[in-house]
Amino acid sequence: MRPITFSSLFAAATLSMAAASINSPSGNLTLDVDVNAAGTPVYSLAYKGKPVVTESALGLEGKEVSFASGFALTGTDTATVDRSWQPVWGEYATVRDHFRELAVHLHASDPDRYLTLRFRVFDDGLGFRYEMPMQDNANYVTLMKENTQFRFDADHTLFCIPGDYDTDEFLFSEVRFSGLEDVLAKRRGRHSESQAAEGTVIQTPMLLKTDDGIYISLHEAALVGYPAMLLDVDCPAHTMSAHLAPDRLGVSAYLQLPVNTPWRTLIVSDDARDILASQLVLNLNEPCKIEDTSWIKPMKFVGVWWEMFTGHVKTWAYSDHYRAKPGVTDYSALPSNGRHPANTANVMKYIDFASKHGIDGVLVEGWNEGWEDWCSYRKNRQFLFDKAYPDFDVDSLRRYAEARGVQLIMHHETAANAADYERQLDRAFSFMKQNGYNAVKTGYVGAIIPRSEHHTSQWMVDHVKHVIERAADYQIMVDSHEAPRPTGLCRTYPNWLAQESARGGEYEAMGTNPPSHTCILPFTRLKGGPMDYTPGLFETRLSYYNEGKTGQAGTTLARQLALYLTMPSPMQMACDLPENYERFPDAFKFIEDVPVDWSDSRYLEAEPNHYITVARQDKHSNDWYIGAITDDNAREAVIDLSFLPKGRKYEATIYEDAKNAHWKNNPQAYNIRTAMVDSRSKLRQRLAPGGGSAIRLTPKDN
Amino acid sequence: MRPITFSSLFAAATLSMAAASINSPSGNLTLDVDVNAAGTPVYSLAYKGKPVVTESALGLEGKEVSFASGFALTGTDTATVDRSWQPVWGEYATVRDHFRELAVHLHASDPDRYLTLRFRVFDDGLGFRYEMPMQDNANYVTLMKENTQFRFDADHTLFCIPGDYDTDEFLFSEVRFSGLEDVLAKRRGRHSESQAAEGTVIQTPMLLKTDDGIYISLHEAALVGYPAMLLDVDCPAHTMSAHLAPDRLGVSAYLQLPVNTPWRTLIVSDDARDILASQLVLNLNEPCKIEDTSWIKPMKFVGVWWEMFTGHVKTWAYSDHYRAKPGVTDYSALPSNGRHPANTANVMKYIDFASKHGIDGVLVEGWNEGWEDWCSYRKNRQFLFDKAYPDFDVDSLRRYAEARGVQLIMHHETAANAADYERQLDRAFSFMKQNGYNAVKTGYVGAIIPRSEHHTSQWMVDHVKHVIERAADYQIMVDSHEAPRPTGLCRTYPNWLAQESARGGEYEAMGTNPPSHTCILPFTRLKGGPMDYTPGLFETRLSYYNEGKTGQAGTTLARQLALYLTMPSPMQMACDLPENYERFPDAFKFIEDVPVDWSDSRYLEAEPNHYITVARQDKHSNDWYIGAITDDNAREAVIDLSFLPKGRKYEATIYEDAKNAHWKNNPQAYNIRTAMVDSRSKLRQRLAPGGGSAIRLTPKDN
């Protein structure tokens, strides 16, 4: 670690103070901060001399007092920090955290108010936040609005999803500012659990691309005690501004001072690969708060899920007696509907499969009482988290799984009744530990209860943090679905292995994820943290699962293997049915082999919405793995292996699309071949339309 | 127990069925039920041939389907039940539950809907509820409105408080229908945490008196999974109808069928004493659900509370550093404000006092972090229930109290953040048990969080039941303040010893409880269950507590002793400061002696708002205790002791107002004398204005 240097400059007793400016360590990025004539703080950001963000306002509007104008700049502090840290898991064994920091101290009078703006300029972007210190005239701030602006200077291309307080399960649009309103008008209200924000609103994480070829990934870091940030867009002005989900009283956040907001983040580069490689969001999060992390273990898993999700024949519910009441009905007196896969015998088959193939875990959905109702009727009580259906023998399964070295993963679907989940939380986690579970998938499908709240509101942000912290108390790992989208908190709470929080692989079951979708997620959603995308789909014909369906998932089989590299996650599913893996054992070998934790990552090729090629080194061996994917178009990936240690030979096992492969009509056409390579090699891999390639490199020096 | 007899009458295939009618066992009350021309069920009730409730509509309005009209009567069931049960604690060792029951089965078509109305006619009143059985066209009912009407035939006198979704801490008005609107107009919005219901709305429990001298106490029983009932009043029509608190979505209740509503209850008599003696509300509740009740022990207690409440000098908060954050601030590094009575040394003094005087428990308020904020700002996190202030040594106090045989009582003020309380509940109760606490006083001061809810809404009703059930799991007794008013659930959950849920003795500290207040509460509020009214105020000059105050509580000292009889509760406080009790040790002897659990009770004199005289027999001895109170006017209570066993002699120790006593200017003037009495005696006790008398009768046969 290099030494940290500090400097401080306090205001002299002059009327106005000079604007502050700071460069990133390499000088690529320049940040300017000033206070305008109205006393509103403003900032701008330039990259290699070109404007990224033009003069944009900052400020917070409290109900009691405003922090938006009337300010004078009273002092600044600067620091240069260069340090590194070792994540418990991730894309890199070591992450460098290197930035220059500028703290701008502001004062407004009548009444006296103090605000500090803290900026960190990295070589790959900017993070800034508001800090409200202790002060006499604002012990609390009931936050009504955050005024943060992001003004751009041209009609850039946006990659974004509609603004919604309750869901982020949308496809991304690629659209200029000038076309955004039309696109959003068509998208409104399509999702059952959504409450669309009024106006022209989008969500982060989102990406911009300028006509000069600069990429800007816009998001936030360390979302704690604050609602998630959406963005109001003024299209003609090319301007976005923060939009926070209000609660029933129109309040965005209840803040007690001293308080820091989340960081607003811009990852900036003229090389798309830098956006993918950036660890800026993680760097802006607090270090790990869990002292003993030895129990946190990245894993692959299969699950009793896809057979219900795809088919509309099998059910999460044990019974078709829709009148059955969780906790009241004696389910043992009801007949099973015979279509309930979360039964002991079937789960044992999954355990056998996982054990045979070295898959760490088995997720079981539909094991507990409450599924007859699902999220219908928004009842105050919904699921029971310590009451299994009569055909799911918790004790037998614990013993069966333990004997085979397989980890059962619990499922806690809450039907968005977060209040009810909190009511049961300690008991639910106790039940898990008593029965040998150390990981849980949580779900929040539906409209949030408490009914004053949204998926993105402060209360829910608090809720999810509470769940993660309590889980850590019980040494439980968490994979959250339908929770507020991630902002790098997995650094602070590494038991939070993954989240969904985007349109996942499950939409492939409806044939509606185009190949481009997984070419944009790593630029956007994944900047907040790993996604439980559920790759590994080998059977892509929808009719296979459901006679009534036609169509096809937007992927070849080989591409599904590549997703284990391009969509990295420490909790990675193999989503398909065991029977489909048994049909393609040679291809499944790659899923068996591929790690879920890495010592290094190299992004080799990238263009949002079009293609990604990445190489990663296994954290526990000298093997490298490579994944390459393309969009709807065939492509030749050029894989330059110069990152390999010079002089060392590797055997490459290449899983690739066959020549005639195509996601639409020939997705299962793949080849597996081997080749000897070294750091001088350049592999040219043809990717089919919707295709991909996955490669394992094993050292063969001896 | 007498045999239960059943009879059943099913509809023949005729177009309309005869109306149903049923009498109470003695024949005093007659109930008629019919279906009117619109197919709406109607009922009426008569007492000794005089109308009590004239033809009034019944029905429920669901969002999905209506249960309000289009019905035909398809059958009835009747039964006669005469049984008795033994409460864990209460006014009687044995309670007789004797009624005739009429179940009216209704059917409506297009679509088919089924509804059963169940009526129980007791000699002292009526209870009825809606029962929605399993049916094909309504698995769920999202209840928007309950149509239950109570139509009266004249301009009766009402004893009632304003309708409010969030508080019941009002004085009662005595007003006719014709004057109600004027009275309510003056009362609106006076209470900080109230959200007044729109329109002419009052709350139950309330009382009516007809000009014929019939008393009608209107309330509900077994409020579970449903909002509390308020009453819309149509004054010119002398009609009340159910008004249920809506949630944010306008919904009153989310109901899964089969479901029964709470019972709507009318206690009826031409003798006011019968209203007080009635156990109808308890009888309509389910039997005790707690198997082992050996740990439930009625108690008296003193508390570190009054010295903060009265003075506005001493504080619940440890620190005046209003910026201190619970769970964040290191309070041990802060100076105490020196005005924090919940400190170890002071609590030890209370323990010493309790131990010396045989008082079972000591309540301590202000022991835990969070009081600097109180309910300000409606934050998502507020109090910590497992973190004591640094001057409150949990461990030392546990040992000190145990050594002296005194029970410490924990305080859980939630600032109405019920969501946050649920989040902490299991940990809070674990903390209590680890530290030797077996009783808790809960509090919900402020506006409810979740912000979609009210104190009276279904969610809060569910919340409180959850707290009581979890408390029972931990063998913890509960005294709830600011919770939905009681409906007899203490029969089912006898660990729910008491509630506040009305304007309590604390208002005496503001000199605003007139003597009549405790002469109406037993007719209204207490019909739902015991109240933690906090009697025992010996020093009634407000200036004693707070130099800046003038005025006087509305009571003599002797009356405060009588309240232990007229306001019976198994968790009964002696609210005043130990120093004030030490000034009047002879009077305090009565509080030391008086039991809190009874084998029998005899109401000897009663008139709402004016006077009550009651005698009760100790459950654990042959002693009887008598309490008599009056309103603002002096009165002679005539205490007929004919209830005593014939031939047995008792020594009466009489605590009475001195001749010149008056609540306004001479409240502490009392006499204590003894007399020998037997069943032929008739004591004539003069009660001063705002005064009372308390008597202990001890057998002196030997």
Comparing alpha-carbon positions, the chain A residue that sits nearest to B451 is: A452
pLDDT band at B377 (very low <50, low <70, confident <90, very high): confident
Say whether B651 is catalytic. no
Residues of B in contact with A466 (CB under 8 A): 423
Residues of B with CB under 8 A from a CB of A: 134, 139-140, 142, 225, 247-249, 254, 256-257, 322-323, 325, 373, 376-381, 419, 422-423, 425-427, 449-453, 458-459, 462, 466
DSSP state of A228: P
Q: Which of A422, A458, A469 to mutate to test the interface with B (most CBs of B within 10 A)?
A: A422
pLDDT higher than 50, residue B9: no
Residues of A in contact with B322 (CB under 8 A): 139
pLDDT higher than 60, residue B702: no
Cross-chain CB nearest to A380 (options B248, B377, B458)? B458
pLDDT at position A193 is: 56
Do A377 and B322 make contact, defined as CB atoms within 8 angstroms? Answer: no
**Is residue B513 a contact partner of residue B563, using CB atoms and an 8 Å limit?**
no
What percentage of chain A reaches a pLDDT higher than 90? 86
pLDDT digits (tens, 9 = 90+) for A311-338: 768 999 998 876 778 888 899 998 899 9
pLDDT digits (tens, 9 = 90+) for B421-449: 999 999 999 999 999 999 999 999 999 99
**B356 in helix, strand or coil?**
helix
Query: What's CA B242's distance to the chain center, in Å?
Result: 20
Provide the number of CB pairs (under 8 Å) joining chain A to chain B.
87
Comparing alpha-carbon positions, the chain B residue that sits nearest to A467 is: B423
Average pLDDT over chain B reads: 94
Do B462 and A381 make contact, defined as CB atoms within 8 angstroms? Answer: yes
Cross-chain CB nearest to A254 (options B378, B423, B452)? B378
For A249, phi then psi, to 5°, come to -95, 10
pLDDT higher than 60, residue B13: no
For A387, the token pair is 């009451």
**Is residue B263 a contact partner of residue B282, using CB atoms and an 8 Å limit?**
no
Rg of the Cα atoms in chain A: 25
pLDDT higher than 60, residue A263: yes
pLDDT higher than 60, residue B345: yes
Partners of residue A44 on adjacent β-strands: A32
**Is residue B347 a contact partner of residue B397, using CB atoms and an 8 Å limit?**
yes
How far apart are the CA of A372 and the nearest CA of chain B, in angstroms?
A: 11
pLDDT higher than 90, residue A374: no
**B46 in helix, strand or coil?**
strand
pLDDT band at B15 (very low <50, low <70, confident <90, very high): very low
Sign of CA dihedral B588, B593, B599, B602: negative
* Angle formed at CA B406 by CA B400 and CA B407, multiple of 5 degrees: 105
Tell me how far apart the alpha carbons of residues B66 and B70 are, in angstroms, rounded to a whole number: 9
**Is residue B568 a contact partner of residue B335, using CB atoms and an 8 Å limit?**
no
How far the first Cα of chain B sits from its last, in Å, is: 36
Q: What are the start-end ranges of the E strands in B406-546?
A: 407-413, 439-443, 477-480, 496-499
pLDDT digits (tens, 9 = 90+) for B639-692: 999 999 999 999 999 999 999 999 999 999 999 999 999 999 999 999 999 999
Residues of A in contact with B377 (CB under 8 A): 140, 142, 254, 256
The reported pTM is 0.92
Cross-chain CB nearest to A452 (options B325, B450, B466)? B450
pLDDT at position A610 is: 98
For A248, the token pair is 């029933």
Range in A296-300, B328-332, B677-681 with the lowest mean pLDDT: B328-332
Residues of A in contact with B256 (CB under 8 A): 325, 373, 377, 379
pLDDT digits (tens, 9 = 90+) for B560-613: 999 999 999 999 999 999 999 999 999 999 999 999 999 999 999 999 999 999
Closest alpha carbon to B190 in B216, B227, B161: B161
How far apart are the CA of B198 and the nearest CA of chain A, in angstroms?
A: 19
Query: Whose structure tokens read 């295939």?
Result: B13
Do B254 and A377 make contact, defined as CB atoms within 8 angstroms? Answer: yes
pLDDT higher than 50, residue A277: yes
Say how many C-beta atoms besides its own lie within 10 A of residue A15's C-beta. 5
Decide: residue A620, CB within 10 A, 0-12 exposed, 13-18 middle, 19+ buried: exposed
Residues of B in contact with A322 (CB under 8 A): 139
Cross-chain CB nearest to A380 (options B254, B376, B381)? B254
Query: What is the arithmetic mean of pLDDT over A656-676?
Result: 97
For A320, the token pair is 């078709």
Do A459 and B419 make contact, defined as CB atoms within 8 angstroms? Answer: yes
Tell me how far apart the alpha carbons of residues A252 and A638 are, in angstroms, rounded to a whole number: 48
pLDDT at position A702 is: 55
pLDDT digits (tens, 9 = 90+) for B116-128: 999 999 999 999 9
Cross-chain CB nearest to B139 (options A248, A323, A419)? A323
Do A459 and B380 make contact, defined as CB atoms within 8 angstroms? Answer: yes
pLDDT digits (tens, 9 = 90+) for B188-242: 554 555 677 889 999 999 999 999 999 999 999 999 999 999 999 999 999 999 9
Average pLDDT over chain A reads: 94
pLDDT band at A584 (very low <50, low <70, confident <90, very high): very high
Query: What is the arithmetic mean of pLDDT over B17-31?
Result: 92
Cross-chain CB nearest to B254 (options A140, A379, A427)? A379
Residues of B in contact with A451 (CB under 8 A): 247-249, 450, 452
How far apart are the CA of A423 and the nearest CA of chain B, in angstroms?
A: 5
**Is residue B255 a contact partner of residue B65, using CB atoms and an 8 Å limit?**
no
For A582, the token pair is 């048994």
Range in A181-195, A220-234, B350-364 with the lowest mean pLDDT: A181-195
Do A380 and B462 make contact, defined as CB atoms within 8 angstroms? Answer: yes
* Angle formed at CA B384 by CA B382 and CA B389, multiple of 5 degrees: 115
pLDDT at position B658 is: 98
Residues of A in contact with B452 (CB under 8 A): 248, 450-453
Residues 6+ away with beta carbon under 8 Å from A497: A89, A296, A298, A299, A439, A477, A478, A479, A490, A530, A569, A570, A571
Query: What is the arithmetic mean of pLDDT over A525-538?
Result: 98
Residues of A in contact with B426 (CB under 8 A): 426-427
pLDDT higher than 90, residue A146: yes
Residue A312: C-alpha distances to residues A302, A308, A316, A648 (Å) = 20, 6, 10, 51
Do A254 and B140 make contact, defined as CB atoms within 8 angstroms? Answer: no
**Alpha helices of B43-113 — where are they, by DSSP H?**
none
| Residue of A146, A369, A506, A605 marked catalytic | A506
Cross-chain CB nearest to A142 (options B248, B377, B462)? B377
Task: Classify B312 in phi/psi space as left (phi over 0), alpha (psi -120 to 50) or beta.
Answer: left
pLDDT higher than 70, residue A13: no
Range in A184-198, B135-149, B152-166 with the lowest mean pLDDT: A184-198
Say how many C-beta atoms besides its own lie within 10 A of residue A326's C-beta. 20
Do A451 and B134 make contact, defined as CB atoms within 8 angstroms? Answer: no
Say how many C-beta atoms besides its own lie within 10 A of residue A213's C-beta. 11
For A273, phi then psi, to 5°, come to -65, -30
How far apart are the CA of B322 and the nearest CA of chain A, in angstroms?
A: 8
Q: What are the start-end ranges of the E strands in B345-450?
A: 361-364, 407-413, 439-443
Comparing alpha-carbon positions, the chain B residue that sits nearest to A462 is: B380
Tell me how far apart the alpha carbons of residues A643 and A601 are, in angstroms, rounded to a whole number: 10
Query: What is the arithmetic mean of pLDDT over B604-626?
Result: 98
Residues of A in contact with B323 (CB under 8 A): 134, 139, 257
Query: Whose structure tokens read 């530290």?
Result: B435
Pairing state between β A361-364 and A407-413: parallel
Comparing alpha-carbon positions, the chain A residue that sits nearest to B246 is: A451
Q: Which of B380, B382, B469 to mutate to test the interface with A (most CBs of A within 10 A)?
A: B380
Tell me how far apart the alpha carbons of residues B318 and A423 are, in angstroms, rounded to a whole number: 30
pLDDT digits (tens, 9 = 90+) for B240-280: 999 999 888 899 999 989 999 999 999 999 999 999 999 99
**Is residue A624 a contact partner of residue A618, using CB atoms and an 8 Å limit?**
yes
Cross-chain CB nearest to B451 (options A247, A256, A373)? A247
Residues 6+ away with beta carbon under 8 Å from B179: none
